[in-house]
Chain A
Amino acid sequence: MKKNLGRIYTALIFLFLYAPIIILIIFSFNNSKSRGNWDGFTIKWYVELFKNDEILKSLYYTLIIATTSSIISTIMGTFAAIGIYDMRGLPKKISLNLNYLPVLNPDIVTAISLMVLFRIVNLELGLITIILAHVTFCTPYVILSVLPKLKQMNKHLAEAALDLGATPFYSIRKVIIPQIMPGIITGALLAFTLSIDDFVITFFTAGKGVSNLSMTIYSMARRGINPVINALSTLMFLTLIILLIIIYKRSEKEEENIIEK
């Protein structure tokens, strides 16, 4: 009885979380343009999606921004984490605290401070400023995912590699990086997700002509959202779900293999 009550409660919470998503997916097949009423099934929005330049362009920018900034912040963050891990005393304290600022500061404060910086040094707002801003707010998350793995790592292995004649860079590449790989992957995924979903930081650091999906959606929200966006998000969502199922199945198989062995 008690267990069932808990299950019902959990189900209700999930209903709350997924209701808007289900609505979105259903309305991507709605014949009527308004979001109020249902007017029969259609797939015309999916066809129109591939003709809509505004939306395709912002999808293109979103992916460019997310890919570039997650790659840069993963590389920079990994090396920074290795560095910070080895620092002592004041430099370590300063680094850790500065690194925490973009995580703890409200997005809007990070966003306006970067906007002020770019405008003061007269950097034209556009793709470059967006990527710089995204790298700045994604890297801390990479570092925070990598640092715990560094703490768990066996420090003597890297030293042993050096004693056996490896160059420092070689020992980082062949000994340290493999040990902290799970943290790096988590960090990279986190950075990619944060960047692809970001609105506030992009909103303040973007100039004319460059707009990611979030910005396009925000500007559309006032004049009514084009159902094409619903179609696009349904496709993106389904892609992610399928990817997830594949990963899940694979890890399940691997587990079975381990057990069999």
Chain B
Amino acid sequence: MKLSKHGYFYLLWMAIFIAIPLLMVVYFAFTTGDSQNITSFTFSLDNFKRFFTPIYIEVLNKSIQLALVSTIICLLLGYPVAYIISKEKLKYRNVLILLFVIPMWMNFLLRTYAWLTLLGKNGIINYFITKLGFQPLDLLYNDFAVLLGMVYNFLPFMVLPIFSVLTKMDNSLIEASWDLGANKLKTFLKVTLPLSLPGVISGVTMVFIPAVSTFVISSLLGGNKTYLIGNLIEQQFRYTGDWHFGSAMSIILMIFILISMALTSRFDKAKEGEGGELW
């Protein structure tokens, strides 16, 4: 039976709504002119030259730094949780992992906004701090708040894939390692950890990509101080109207992500041929 013909409509859809729009962005990135008038476009590398000046490079640097730190924190916080839950009895395990999914059903902007109530100058955390006799802390509108927002929003993306790999793991391998005389730590380092690497890698990508490109978290929790590359792109398309420069920045962001993914996927040979599994 020829089933492949059912895929052609979607192929056309993808051409119109995925491929062509991205090619347009590339085209805009390499041209300058009046954004609203295609005939005025001329080829130029000015958008990229403009980006590679200290002001913008610093923004890119900051975005990468914050995204990297939040990814690492998510990994350090998330791996143990995924591991502990995967060792629970089947009955509790599913409920516990569901508890990671449920928060995602409440609007993420609203959940992020709720942190203002917790972190603010007169917020709940500072209330307890002053009650204990300390000076209130500046918790809001700085890098700390943005990092916290990232970790808070993206932690489930780290826990879910790691959990999924850990539960699918063949337990007899771990028993074999014990039988052969390895202690718990050694078994973890030599058996469990390497086998769970595919989960770690999809977790890392699923946290890093939204973190590096966010503009919502930084504009809600970072005030005007924390400016990230996502904010720059948003500004070009929503307010300034310089689509050329905005497109160039999007291309740079995409290329950066592609490179970092190529680097991480080198650790992940097991995943080859699988392709298509999300978590």
Question: A residues engaging B (CB < 8 A)?
Answer: 6-7, 9-10, 13-14, 16-21, 23-24, 27, 35-37, 76-77, 79-88, 91, 94-96, 98-99, 101-109, 112-117, 120, 132-133, 136, 139, 141, 143-145, 147-148, 158-159, 162, 168, 171-172, 193, 197, 199-200, 204, 213-214, 217-218, 221, 225, 229-230, 233, 236-237, 240-241, 244
Q: Which residues of A contact B209 (CB under 8 A)?
A: 104, 106
Is B124 a contact of A23 with CB atoms below 8 Å?
Answer: yes
Nearest-neighbour CB distance to chain A for B182, whole angstroms, equals 18
Chain B, Cβ-Cβ closest to A150: B3
Q: Interface size for chain B: under 10, 10 to 19, 20 to 34, or 35 or more residues?
A: 35 or more
Is B11 a contact of A91 with CB atoms below 8 Å?
Answer: yes
What mask results when residues 237 to 254 of chain B are scored 1 for a CB within 8 Å of chain A, else 0? 110000100110010011
Is A95 a contact of B109 with CB atoms below 8 Å?
Answer: no
Contact residues of A: prevailing secondary structure? helix
Q: Indicate whether B19 reaches chain A with its CB closer than 8 angstroms.
A: yes
Q: How far is the CA of A236 from the CA of B109 in the complex (A)?
A: 15
Is B21 a contact of A116 with CB atoms below 8 Å?
Answer: yes
Q: Indicate whether B259 reaches chain A with its CB closer than 8 angstroms.
A: no
Contact residues of B: prevailing secondary structure? helix
Given known contacts A17-B155, A117-B20, A159-B1, A144 and B210 CB-to-CB distance under 8 angstroms = no
Chain A, Cβ-Cβ closest to B115: A20
Is B108 a contact of A197 with CB atoms below 8 Å?
Answer: yes
Chain A, Cβ-Cβ closest to B85: A10
Is A214 a contact of B7 with CB atoms below 8 Å?
Answer: no
What mask results when residues 1 to 16 of chain B are scored 1 for a CB within 8 Å of chain A, else 0? 1111111111101111
Nearest-neighbour CB distance to chain B for A241, whole angstroms, equals 7
28 A/B residue pairs, CB under 8 Å, sorted by A: A17-B100, A17-B156, A20-B111, A20-B114, A24-B106, A24-B110, A27-B117, A35-B116, A35-B117, A36-B123, A80-B9, A82-B6, A95-B14, A98-B19, A109-B22, A112-B250, A113-B21, A113-B24, A115-B237, A117-B17, A133-B17, A158-B1, A199-B109, A200-B216, A217-B110, A221-B113, A241-B102, A244-B102
Is B106 a contact of A112 with CB atoms below 8 Å?
Answer: no
Q: How far is the CA of A95 from the CA of B8 in the complex (A)?
A: 9
Q: Indicate whether B157 reaches chain A with its CB closer than 8 angstroms.
A: no
Q: How far is the CA of A203 from the CA of B142 in the complex (A)?
A: 25
Segment with Cβ contacts to A, from B53-61, B76-84, B133-141, B189-197: B76-84
Given known contacts A23-B114, A120-B24, A120-B38, A87 and B17 CB-to-CB distance under 8 angstroms = no
